[in-house]
Structure 1
Amino acid sequence: MTGTGTRTKTWKAEISIVESGSEVRAEARLRGEDGGQIVGEGTARCNPADENVPAIGDELSVARALSDLSHQLLNRAAHDIEVHTARPVERLHA
C-alpha cells in the first residue's frame, strides 16, 4: 500500500445464479491478477406463504454471496498482515 508510483490492478468478479424451484443459489468468484481466486456462496428461499418473485431471490442470493466473499477477503487480509508483521491483528470488519 506504500510506494511512489501509481499502478492499476484489475481483479475480475463473476457471479453465477442457479434457480431450482423455490431456491436460488449464487456463487461470486473473485480472481486476482496472480491467478488466485476466492469464491463466496449465497442462498435464498421463497417462503411458501409469499409470492415467488425470482428477481428478489436473485438479489438476496447475490448479496449473500458477495457478503461471504467480502468476509473471506477481510480474513485473508488479516492473516496476511499477521504473517508479515508476526503480530496478531484485531479482526477486520466489513
Structure 2
Amino acid sequence: MHAGQWRVEIFLSEEEDRTHAVARLHTAAGELTADGTARRNPADRDVPEIGDELAAARALSALAHRLLETVAEDIEGVTRRPVRLDS
C-alpha cells in the first residue's frame, strides 16, 4: 500500500484591475508551479473575491495541465513509447 500527501499553495496579488495567482504543488518528487490572471472590466463593480476565484481557478487549471504533461513524460521515460493522456 502506498500513501502520501501533496500540498497546494495559492498566492494571490492584485494590481489595479488585475489579480494574479500562482499555484504551487509540493510533492515528495518536487514542485510544479503555474500562473493565472483575472482582469476586471473597468465598468464592473470591484468585487475582489471574484478576481481571486477566477485567477486561482485559472492557475489551478494550468497546474493540472502541467501535471498531466509531467505524467506523460514520466510514462514515456519508463515505457520508451509516446503517450497521449486525455484530460
1:27 to 13, 22, 29: 22
1:39 Cα shift?
0.3
Correspondences of 1:45-56 after superposition (within 5 Å): 45-56=39-50
Deviates most, 66-75 or 45-54:
45-54
One-letter code aligned to 2:35: E
Where in structure 1 are there 5+ consecutive unaligned residues?
1-5
Q: Which amino acid aligns with 2:19?
A: V
Give the counterpart of 2:82 among 57, 81, 88. 88
Q: Does 1:72 align with 2:78?
A: no
Query: Is 1:58 the counterpart of 2:52 in the alignment?
Result: yes
CA shift, 1:40, in A, is 1.0
Q: Please identify the structure whose Cα radius of gyration is greater.
A: 1
Greater share of strand residues, 1 or 2? 2
Aligned partner of residue 65 in structure 2, secondary structure: helix
Q: CA RMSD in A?
A: 0.9
Percent identity of paired positions between Structure 1 and Structure 2 = 48
Within 2, Cα distance between the matches of 1:32 and 1:70?
14
Matches of 1:89 and 1:7 in 2, distance apart? 24
TM score, norm. by length of structure 2: 0.94
d(CA) in 2 for partners of 1:93, 1:30: 21
